[in-house]
Amino acid sequence: MENKKVLLGMSGGVDSSVSALLLKEQGYEVIGTTLELFAGSSCCNTNTYIDAKNVCNLIGIPHFTYDCKEQFRKNIIQDFIDCYANCKTPNPCIECNKYMKFGFMYEKAKELGCNYISTGHYAKTEYSEKYGRWVLKKSNVGKKDQSYVLWSIPKELLEHIVFPLGDFENKEQIREIAKQNNLKIANKPDSEDICFVPDGNYKKFLETNSNIKPKEGNIVDAKGEILGKHTGLYNYTIGQRKGLGISYKAPLFVLGFNKEKNEVIVGEEQELYTQEILVTDVNLLLVDEINDWLEVEVKTRYSTKSAKAKIKQDENNIKVVFDTPQRAITPGQSAVFYIDDIVLGGGKIVK
């Protein structure tokens, strides 16, 4: 008899709460868990635990909490700090998925005798006859699809992951299920910010929790001509236009940084476009290696549309050549490769 025991990560929000209901309806033996990640964060506070536990009590499943604050600090917060210290823009949700939700939580699932883990992400896993393996796919919700932030999952885990929300077409359907089942969290707002920076002020977080402090330097153009002063490299992101404090004949945008010289490099709109990028820390899900140029769609930010490109692998790096130049590609963000609606894999943008 198949082991249908599943450990479900619960944040106290509507997505993971409805996932618990759906898993139970589908015949799974569900255990809810909430990971304590960062004191006072939007997805990890007293209300989070209470909301998750209340849902579990209502539908009759057990609920555990685990203190993961040390692992979270080491793997997610330190990476966040290191990225900004090195002029990169991180996506901490991707690191959290890798180390916490599909790392620590999977280890706990095995300890509890669970064959599966689950979260409220909008994505799908299924067995593909075409590729002869389990695959990660886009969900049906369009813009809210979260497959982009899941590229770092180890491929051997895919057959042990269940995403109950993958076939829904909008968030309203999820809220309606919560209302029908008398869940008090039915109208709880989504958390949009970085969970450990609930006020959205990442600059203050960096100044308070690291050695990164304001350090004035020059704003220069691509030729090195000084155009103004900046207040610290971490205060700027590639593509930024506002807040530069420079009067110039044309609008200027942040193009990049020179860490050694403590310079912000700016230029005009057309200088923001790039046709080739290099991606490292690659995790391939659909194939074991890419031996020749391969045509794919590439997403370089969660909120941007995918673009057609060719990719080629060199050891653990992938070169990406876009069909048309792309705007404001940012080191530290992830490039995720798709073939149709299947995630081929992904990695970190270096340049």
Within 107-215, strands assigned E span 116-118, 123-128, 133-138, 161-162
What is 273-349's CATH superfamily? Translation factors (2.40.30.10)
Per-residue confidence (pLDDT) for residue 44, from 0 to 100 = 58
CB atoms within 10 A of CB 324: 9
124, 166 contact by CB (below 8 A): yes
Per-residue confidence (pLDDT) for residue 40, from 0 to 100 = 66
pLDDT-derived band at 45 (thresholds 50, 70, 90) equals low
Mean pLDDT of 319-348: 97
Tell me the C-alpha to C-alpha distance, in Å, between residue 31 and each of 143, 175, 276, 315, 330: 30, 22, 45, 40, 39
Per-residue confidence (pLDDT) for residue 193, from 0 to 100 = 73
Is residue 96 flagged as an active site residue?
yes
CB atoms within 10 A of CB 248: 12
Mean pLDDT of 119-145: 94
Residue 160: closest CA among 63, 281, 283, 28: 28
- Please give the CATH topology (third level) of the domain spanning 214-267: SH3 type barrels. (2.30.30)
- Is a pLDDT exceeding 80 seen at residue 181? yes
In angstroms, rounded to a whole number, what is the distance separating the alpha carbons of residues 230 and 297?
Answer: 36
Per-residue confidence (pLDDT) for residue 87, from 0 to 100 = 96
- Is a pLDDT exceeding 70 seen at residue 333? yes
Within 63-192, strands assigned E span 63-67, 116-118, 123-128, 133-138, 161-162
Angle formed by the axes of helices 78-85 and 202-209, to 10°? 100
pLDDT-derived band at 266 (thresholds 50, 70, 90) equals very high
- Does the pTM surpass 0.85? The reply is yes
Domain ranges for the chain: 5-120+164-187, 214-267, 273-349
In angstroms, rounded to a whole number, what is the distance separating the alpha carbons of residues 105 and 117?
Answer: 8
Per-residue confidence (pLDDT) for residue 184, from 0 to 100 = 85
- Is a pLDDT exceeding 60 seen at residue 134? yes
- Is a pLDDT exceeding 60 seen at residue 166? yes
6, 41 contact by CB (below 8 A): no
Per-residue confidence (pLDDT) for residue 316, from 0 to 100 = 83
Structure-token pair, residue 331? 């080191």
CB atoms within 10 A of CB 133: 16
Window from 107-116, 198-207, 250-259, 286-295 with minimum mean pLDDT = 198-207
Between residues 195 and 116, the one the model is more confident about: 116
pLDDT-derived band at 99 (thresholds 50, 70, 90) equals very high
Contact residues for 111 (Cβ-Cβ < 8 A; gap 6+): none
Per-residue confidence (pLDDT) for residue 42, from 0 to 100 = 57
- Arch. (CATH architecture) of 5-120+164-187: 3-Layer(aba) Sandwich (3.40)
In angstroms, rounded to a whole number, what is the distance separating the alpha carbons of residues 232 and 218?
Answer: 10
Window from 1-5, 61-65, 163-167, 188-192 with minimum mean pLDDT = 188-192
pLDDT-derived band at 275 (thresholds 50, 70, 90) equals very high
pLDDT tens, position by position, 209-231 = 999 999 999 999 999 999 999 99
- Is a pLDDT exceeding 80 seen at residue 39? no
Residue 319: closest CA among 278, 275, 273, 274: 278
In angstroms, rounded to a whole number, what is the distance separating the alpha carbons of residues 166 and 140?
Answer: 6
CB atoms within 10 A of CB 197: 20
> Taking the alpha carbons of 192, 196, 197, 203 in that order, is the dihedral positive or negative?
negative
Mean pLDDT of 16-36: 96
Identify the active-site residue in 44, 83, 96, 114: 96
DSSP helix/strand/coil, 270: helix
